[in-house]
Structure 1
Amino acid sequence: MDAERPPLPPYLTPEDAARKARGAEDAWNSRDPARVALAYTADCHWRNRGEFIKGRPEIEAFLTRKWQKELDYRLIKEVWAYTDDRIAVRFAYEWHDDSGNWFRSYGNENWEFDARGLMQRRIASINDLPIKEADRLFHWPLGRRPDDHPGLTDLGL
């Protein structure tokens, strides 16, 4: 049996939803596919752009491919809406490819959780915008975003 992933649904306060989103952001900023995959149910369903993924092994394989392509990845998530067992977030992340071309990727995710706080469904829509390296906004050291680093709203995103 999988361990619980607090906070657990129902998500009744903005603080509960924000803690859940920040936990996901922190995990994704670790760029550790195995760690990230543990936050999802064993049979989780994803739609990521036009790719359909089911279960932890496919999630882990997808994330491994993602972070081999999206180098120096830094992500910020922000809650858009929440209710009961669902949270909607908007996000932006910056990365570069192996040729040094920088991008800012923008998107929205819809999340659905089981009673243990594991995500059982993730639906993501994402667009990539080429940017100049000088236009980057996410400059913290790789890993967790510092608590004092501005979020999306504060950055005007």
Structure 2
Amino acid sequence: MADDLVVTRSWAVPAAELAERFSRSSGPGGQGVNTADSRVELSFDVARAASVPERLRARLLDRLAGRLIDGVLTVAASEHRTQLANRRAARERLAQLLREAAAPPPAARRPTRPTRGSKERRLSAKKRRGDTKRGRQGRYD
């Protein structure tokens, strides 16, 4: 449970469903960049993972459609010098992506009509602006 990726209070992705790949990073690190595999690619199979609740699977697949390759979501992190820090960053980024995709859709907007007062204020402001412009006509001929 310690390595599980906590997405929401009711949903956590087990570490066994995450795949990590390490490679050489192009970021800071001097000569160490040439030898240390500090870049992390974290992958999660959204389409086939057992931990994804069925009620969320369709929403996740729909909202993440542009980022998925064969149903797999991949996140890369290489901004830190150490592999451990990049692993943390990749896990947090993946959790945030899943959290945003799993969020319920916003409530539909109920259409409202402008009040009489707001209509009157708008029209009187237009009238004042027109009067100002009309007052400028004929000057500077």
User: TM-score w.r.t. structure 2 length?
Assistant: 0.26
Query: Which of structures 1 and 2 has the bigger CA Rg?
Result: 2
Going by fraction, where is strand more abundant, 1 or 2? 1
Higher relative contact order (CA 8 A, sep 6+): 1
Going by fraction, where is helix more abundant, 1 or 2? 2
